Structure 1
Amino acid sequence: MDDDDLARPRSRRARREPTPVQRALGLLVRREHSRKELTRKLSARGVDPDAARAAVDKLADEGWQNDVRFAESLVRQRALSGYGPVHIRAELGTHGLDSDLIATAVAGWDGDWAENARELVCRRYGEAGPDGLEQRRKAAAMLARRGFPADCIRSATRYDPEDWEGGGC
């Protein structure tokens, strides 16, 4: 045994390069991905584009990858983070999902968009809501940036806390 043998760490077995399916599964274990996003990430990690598509197809056939499940998950996640349906539809579109799937996922969310908008306004301006025209404009602009439609913005910025079922925020 010479000095070179002592300097090199011994490994019991050589590590094999993960297959495209293993790489894709590793990504899916962390969170849901759309087909387009998963294929793009695999290609960025050096996987041949055809092999990446084949791996994603295989995982979709086996139920590991599902665009419907991804869309529902993203809608729920973004809605609970304070984003509105306009923003969420746009984001789902960037993931390569078709418009029917996007519409179904957004419509399938069981929350109330107007209530979400009101809660955002309450967090920002307190239980009394925006005070005066300037604050209402700022609240409306904030809601528009977060992707809420005009009717939700109107109801959230021109509300009377007494009209709410819960009596306020």
Structure 2
Amino acid sequence: MKQFKWYFSAILAVMTLLFSGCEIFREALEESYSSEDPSSEEFEARFNIGVFQIVKYPRAAVLEKIIDIGNGETLCVNTNALFSSKRIRAAKAVPRPGSPDLYDLEFRIDRMGKTQWMMLHGTVRGEEVVMMVDNRFVGTFTPEEYNDGTKDWVKIRIGVDAYTARGIVKFAKKNYDHYNPEASNWFSNLF
């Protein structure tokens, strides 16, 4: 009877850890599913970032999408991303002053990303845009102006949770390498 109690306790403990939503176990489980090498065919880009313009007056059903932002509220966004993970070389998570559980993000962007960021800022002109990670609403922010092409980093004041911030930082370079392969890898799977 004691062995049964011991086995039952062990199984209960393992199930509690697996189903409790512990971020460490969730990250380990996600990592076990895909390859870490961005040039491999099995690589699956994760923590993909998309920045979308908010549509105040929906008109074009094909180009617009209603997204759930929580608390039963929705937003309509243009489905064409103004900025995405394809242009983010690296990312940093910066703790928010006064809110240690929330992080702002800094992105090191490539040359084309600089152009896209300037176009993004010019398009929205101080209005809020939506950030989505893996097609899930993360929040809204107002893009900062990016006048000179000399700085490589842009700051996004959005306040994401620790799990999302760690994932974005971890996969930014891998996603960039996946979306922008070196020329030597373009035809490697043909031969």
Normalising by structure 2, what TM-score?
Answer: 0.24
Rg larger in structure: 1
Larger relative helix fraction: 1
Normalising by structure 1, what TM-score?
Answer: 0.26
- Bigger relative contact order, structure 1 or 2 (CA pairs below 8 A, ≥6 apart): 2
Larger relative strand fraction: 2
